[in-house]
């Protein structure tokens, strides 16, 4: 029987002669049958979906319908033939090897010119992915609802997670789950299709062959992989895995790690016994989604505690930080109180001479000693070498003096015997709270008072004279707040712009990349130095918003020029959603990760909580540079832990050389040693602050390759032509 052609409504000027729309489509499936259900037409999309080499003309179309769907198909045909012109939708499965193949079909009668039915037309499309997604949402929601009730043990939760995984991965025919134990070994705690009692006698170790990759994403292992793994095991575990574990029958194993802080803490295993290519990318995606839920349900308390400490505790000492103090102040009702800022020079000396570990221990013990002597209503915080004490109910400076005298005497007795190098004679700044004084204003006032206290055991109390010195900061804070508040979604904040300073190869003056530098101009105040407005933005919590705008614009400009651009990241920007926002900008501007460089300061890399996120940025392909090395608390240990692409030497190194450097000065020898260090670590060195030809010649002679400074180019807004000129080299900007 020949295929029946459907009526054509083609317009000669829109479709070429011989063009068959139904044959051209790859998404809409079309089938026609006669009244006996025999094929009269089937388009290419249907043949590909069903795996048929050619139209089965004359054969029964009902043979291609799954047995469980046949009654509904026959009922649909009966109805459309009884009422020509009426369409009816039916959802069907596909009777093939793959599970969960679903499609939706519209049935309608084909009529002759007199309106009598002569056949049936069926038009359909594949909804398999949508169906599987719905199953995933259903199973994951059920798993979350069970876990959030908080009544399941870790083993019980993994059993539920295994059931959920088997429910959302159609190719899985059996499965098991392991949980890392205190000894570091993974032991079986759940199984479906296996003898769990027997499997509990086996264990898996991260050091063994299958686990050497320490994979933290879902992976499919083949029969050969499993055989190679089992061959390295002791005979007892081989017998368990090949007997109750049925390893010899598994053709494909989907292994899904439950990852917490970059380390697997549990595994789900889904097994298929028939085909090596049983699992598809959607299976891996759904399985990883379930694993994320399990990680949060199993280890959420641990993660929340670490997140709390990361937010409210000093990363080196564990003492409460100023964020915790500021938020506590925001919750307190108005009333008399005093805020004290204390700095102890002997702590700075301990840090410099005895190292970070000893310094952190002394600071921690000093903080605990102070806390024990405060009242329950008082509070302590520590940040960047400064202790903060909030004393409730204090109205006069004399009361503060009395408290300080008692604290200093008792702390000295307790601690100076243990650490003779500690001389607890702090310089102190004090502010007595005024009505309607905001927490940031209170902290700033104590800081201003501390700056006026220059000697050990000296106390400076904030007063109107000191207040005059804070007016500029208040004006900037207000202007910055207004600029950010008036900002619209895609527009820059008022007065802000990015300037770009070139980093060049020193030998030929060619442009290597740009550094994006944030500039701010206030109409009433003029250009504001970054050193003034950036700390304000950080202090007020505005830096993530401002920094996000900088990253977006830098990515856009890098894509436009085809030149890598470096962006500075502050500590407050290093939140988990940074990775997502960066990926959005890369996709939006079609930019490769290598084109967007991130710079961080020494202070940022000293924060333990930032290391994992920085490592994730590098893993995503972004070069990471350490900015202003040598200007702060340099940590050579951090240089080895972070995968840095380059280290930028602070401008102070070149400034100390003088305008006409000499090779044998201590400053020159120090730079030479740093070049050797960079070479040993395998990182590029970028020398900042190059201002004279003599400095450039010295650096070239010493073998430095990259540099930045006014001699090579000032920060500016560059045109396309100027960028191309910089690319060419030789001419200095």
Q: Indicate whether 357 belongs to any domain.
A: yes
pLDDT the model gives residue 437: 86
Q: Are 259 and 216 in contact (CB under 8 A)?
A: yes
Q: Is the pTM of this model over 0.85?
A: no
- 106/140 same-domain check: no
User: Among 251, 282, 308, which residue terminates a domain?
Assistant: 308
Residue 525 pLDDT class (50, 70, 90 cuts)? confident
Q: Which residue has the higher pLDDT, 432 or 208?
A: 432
Q: Indicate whether 613 belongs to any domain.
A: yes
The C-alpha angle with vertex 21 and arms to 16 and 27, in degrees rounded to 5, equals 145
Residue 23 pLDDT class (50, 70, 90 cuts)? low
pLDDT the model gives residue 163: 92
- 30/154 same-domain check: no
pLDDT the model gives residue 337: 94
pLDDT the model gives residue 477: 79
- 608/658 same-domain check: yes
Residue 316 in tokens? 């080196």
Going edge to edge, which strands form the sheet with 263-272?
Answer: 203-204, 186-192, 174-180, 263-272, 252-260, 219-222
3-state secondary structure (DSSP) of residue 88: strand
Residue identified by tokens 């026959």 is 74
Does residue 533 register a pLDDT over 80? yes
User: Total domain count for the chain?
Assistant: 4
- 280/327 same-domain check: no
- 387/406 same-domain check: yes
User: What is the spatial distance between Cα 657 and Cα 662, in angstroms, rounded to a whole number?
Assistant: 7
User: Among 70, 93, 126, which residue terminates a domain?
Assistant: 126
Q: Give the other-Cβ count within 10 Å of 460's Cβ.
A: 20
Of the candidates 175, 144, 173, 172, the residue with the CA atom closest to the CA atom of residue 159: 175
Choice among 27-36, 123-132, 272-281, 623-632 with the minimum mean pLDDT? 623-632
Does residue 617 register a pLDDT over 50? yes
Q: Which residue has the higher pLDDT, 492 or 177?
A: 177
pLDDT the model gives residue 99: 57
Of the candidates 716, 718, 707, the residue with the CA atom closest to the CA atom of residue 561: 718
User: What is the spatial distance between Cα 653 and Cα 668, in angstroms, rounded to a whole number?
Assistant: 9
pLDDT the model gives residue 94: 62
User: What is the spatial distance between Cα 516 and Cα 569, in angstroms, rounded to a whole number?
Assistant: 11
Half-sphere exposure of 557 (CA within 13 A, CB side): 25
Does residue 516 register a pLDDT over 90? yes
The predicted-structure confidence for 150-185, as pLDDT tens digits, reads as follows 667 889 889 999 999 998 898 899 999 999 998 888
Of the candidates 647, 635, 566, 580, the residue with the CA atom closest to the CA atom of residue 605: 635
User: What is the spatial distance between Cα 288 and Cα 646, in angstroms, rounded to a whole number?
Assistant: 34
* Whole-number percent of the chain with pLDDT over 70: 88
pLDDT the model gives residue 472: 67
Q: Which residue has the higher pLDDT, 551 or 724?
A: 551
Q: Give the other-Cβ count within 10 Å of 84's Cβ.
A: 13
- 698/675 same-domain check: yes
Q: Indicate whether 549 belongs to any domain.
A: yes
Provide mean pLDDT across the span 306-316.
Answer: 80
Q: Indicate whether 13 belongs to any domain.
A: no
User: Among 263, 286, 308, which residue terminates a domain?
Assistant: 308
CATH at residue 139: 3.30.450.40
pLDDT the model gives residue 214: 53
CATH at residue 429: 3.30.70.270
Distance of CA 258 to the CA centre of its chain: 17
Does residue 297 register a pLDDT over 90? no
Provide mean pLDDT across the span 308-312.
Answer: 78
Residue 79 in tokens? 């109805």
Helix axes 530-540, 439-451, angle to 10 degrees: 140
The DSSP annotation for 28-71 comes to -EEEEEETTSBEEEE-HHHHHHHT-SS--TTSBGGGGS-TTTHH
pLDDT the model gives residue 16: 43
- 441/498 same-domain check: no
Distance of CA 175 to the CA centre of its chain: 31
- 579/657 same-domain check: yes
- 339/426 same-domain check: yes
Q: Are 213 and 279 in contact (CB under 8 A)?
A: no
pLDDT the model gives residue 210: 56
Q: Indicate whether 16 belongs to any domain.
A: no
- 287/172 same-domain check: yes
Mean pLDDT over all residues of the chain?
A: 85
Count of positions (residues) in the chain: 733
The predicted-structure confidence for 358-416, as pLDDT tens digits, reads as follows 999 999 999 999 999 999 999 999 998 899 999 999 999 999 999 999 998 888 888 87
Range 627-630 contact pairs with CB under 8 angstroms and sequence separation of 24 or more: 627/568, 627/599, 627/600, 627/601, 628/601, 628/602, 628/688, 629/602, 630/674
The C-alpha angle with vertex 670 and arms to 665 and 671, in degrees rounded to 5, equals 100
The predicted-structure confidence for 635-676, as pLDDT tens digits, reads as follows 566 677 778 999 999 888 898 888 888 888 888 888 998 898
User: What is the spatial distance between Cα 106 and Cα 84, in angstroms, rounded to a whole number?
Assistant: 13
Q: Which residue has the higher pLDDT, 132 or 487?
A: 132
Of the candidates 510, 514, 507, the residue with the CA atom closest to the CA atom of residue 704: 507
Q: Indicate whether 475 belongs to any domain.
A: no
- 593/676 same-domain check: yes
The predicted-structure confidence for 689-707, as pLDDT tens digits, reads as follows 999 999 999 999 999 999 9
Provide mean pLDDT across the span 541-555.
Answer: 90
Instruction: Say if strands 379-383 and 117-126 run parallel, antiparallel, or are unpaired.
Output: unpaired
pLDDT the model gives residue 18: 47
CATH at residue 117: 3.30.450.20
- 107/149 same-domain check: no
3-state secondary structure (DSSP) of residue 631: coil
CATH at residue 497: 3.20.20.450
Q: Which residue has the higher pLDDT, 345 or 581?
A: 581
The DSSP annotation for 94-138 comes to --SSSTT-EEEEEEEEEE-TTS-EEEEEEEEEE-HHHHHHHHHHH
User: What is the spatial distance between Cα 465 and Cα 469, in angstroms, rounded to a whole number?
Assistant: 7
Q: Indicate whether 4 belongs to any domain.
A: no
Choice among 39-53, 139-153, 216-230 with the minimum mean pLDDT? 139-153
Q: Indicate whether 478 belongs to any domain.
A: no
Instruction: Say if strands 174-180 and 706-707 run parallel, antiparallel, or are unpaired.
Output: unpaired
Domain that holds residue 156: 131-308
Residue identified by tokens 């619209």 is 488
Does residue 74 register a pLDDT over 50? yes
The predicted-structure confidence for 440-482, as pLDDT tens digits, reads as follows 989 989 988 887 786 778 898 998 776 665 566 677 878 888 8
User: What is the spatial distance between Cα 390 and Cα 437, in angstroms, rounded to a whole number?
Assistant: 14
pLDDT the model gives residue 354: 80
């Amino acid at each position: 029987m020949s295929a029946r052609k459907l009526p054509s409504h083609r317009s000669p000027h829109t479709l070429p002669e011989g063009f068959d729309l139904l044959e051209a489509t790859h998404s809409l499936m079309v089938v026609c049958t006669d009244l006996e259900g025999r094929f009269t037409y089937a388009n290419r999309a249907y043949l590909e979906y069903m795996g048929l080499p050619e139209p089965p003309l004359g054969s029964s179309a009902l043979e291609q319908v799954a047995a469980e769907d046949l009654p509904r198909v026959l009922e649909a045909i009966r109805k459309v033939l009884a009422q020509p012109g009426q369409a009816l939708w039916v959802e069907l499965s596909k009777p093939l090897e793959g599970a969960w193949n679903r499609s939706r079909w519209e049935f309608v009668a084909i009529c002759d010119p007199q309106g009598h039915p002569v056949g049936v037309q069926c038009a359909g499309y594949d909804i398999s992915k949508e169906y599987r997604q719905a199953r995933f949402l259903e199973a994951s929601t059920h798993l979350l609802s069970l876990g959030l009730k908080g009544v399941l043990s870790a083993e019980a939760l993994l059993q539920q997670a295994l059931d959920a995984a088997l429910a959302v991965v159609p190719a899985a025919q059996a499965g098991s789950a392991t949980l890392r134990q205190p000894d570091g070994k993974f032991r079986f705690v759940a199984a479906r299709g296996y003898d769990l009692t027997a499997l509990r006698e086996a264990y898996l170790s991260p050091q063994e062959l299958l686990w050497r990759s320490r994979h933290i994403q879902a992976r499919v292992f083949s029969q050969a992989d499993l055989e190679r793994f089992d061959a390295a095991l002791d005979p007892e575990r081989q017998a368990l895995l090949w007997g109750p574990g049925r390893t010899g029958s598994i053709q494909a194993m989907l292994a899904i790690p439950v990852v917490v802080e970059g380390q697997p803490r549990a595994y789900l295993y889904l097994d298929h016994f028939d085909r090596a290519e049983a699992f598809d990318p959607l299976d891996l995606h759904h399985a990883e989604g379930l694993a994320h839920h399990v990680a949060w349900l199993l280890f959420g308390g641990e993660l929340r505690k670490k997140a709390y400490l990361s937010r409210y505790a000093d990363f080196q000492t564990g003492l409460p930080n100023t964020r915790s103090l500021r938020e506590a102040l925001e919750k307190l009702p108005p009333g008399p109180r005093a805020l004290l800022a204390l700095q102890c020079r002997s702590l700075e000396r301990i840090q410099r001479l005895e190292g970070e570990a000893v310094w952190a221990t002394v600071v921690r013990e000093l903080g605990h000693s102070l806390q024990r002597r405060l009242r329950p209503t008082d509070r302590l915080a520590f940040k960047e070498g400064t202790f903060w004490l909030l004393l409730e109910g204090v109205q006069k400076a004399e009361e503060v003096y009395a408290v300080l005298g008692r604290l200093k005497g008792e702390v000295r007795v307790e601690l100076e015997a243990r650490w003779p190098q500690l001389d607890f004679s702090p310089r102190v700044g004090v502010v007595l709270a005024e009505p309607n004084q905001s927490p940031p204003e209170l902290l700033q006032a104590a800081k201003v008072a501390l700056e006026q206290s220059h000697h050990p055991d000296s106390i400076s109390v904030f007063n109107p004279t000191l207040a005059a010195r804070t007016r500029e900061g208040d004006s900037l804070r207000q202007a910055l707040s207004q600029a950010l508040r008036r900002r619209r979604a895609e527009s820059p904040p008022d007065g802000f712009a990015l300037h770009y300073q070139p980093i060049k190869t020193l030998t030929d003056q060619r442009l290597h990349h740009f550094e994006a530098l944030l500039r701010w101009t206030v109409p009433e105040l003029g250009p504001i130095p970054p050193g003034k407005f950036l700390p304000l933005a950080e202090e007020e919590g505005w830096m993530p918003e401002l920094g996000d705008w900088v990253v977006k614009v830098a990515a856009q400009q890098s894509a436009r020029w085809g030149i890598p651009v470096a962006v500075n990241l502050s500590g407050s920007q290093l939140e988990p959603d940074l990775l997502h926002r960066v990926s959005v900008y890369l996709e939006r501007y079609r930019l490769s990760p290598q084109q967007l460089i991130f710079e961080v300061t020494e202070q940022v890399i000293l924060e333990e909580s930032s290391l994992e996120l920085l490592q994730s940025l590098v893993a995503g392909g972004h070069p990471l540079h350490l900015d202003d090395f040598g200007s702060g608390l340099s940590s050579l240990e951090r240089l080895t832990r972070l995968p840095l692409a380059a280290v930028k030497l602070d401008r102070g190194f070149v400034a100390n050389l003088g305008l006409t450097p000499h090779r044998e000065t201590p400053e020159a020898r120090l730079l030479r040693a740093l070049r050797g260090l960079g070479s040993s670590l395998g990182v590029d060195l970028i020398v900042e602050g190059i201002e004279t030809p003599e400095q450039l010649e010295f650096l070239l002679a010493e073998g430095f390759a990259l540099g930045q400074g006014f001699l090579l180019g000032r920060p500016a807004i560059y045109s396309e032509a100027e960028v191309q000129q910089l690319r060419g080299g030789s001419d200095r900007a």
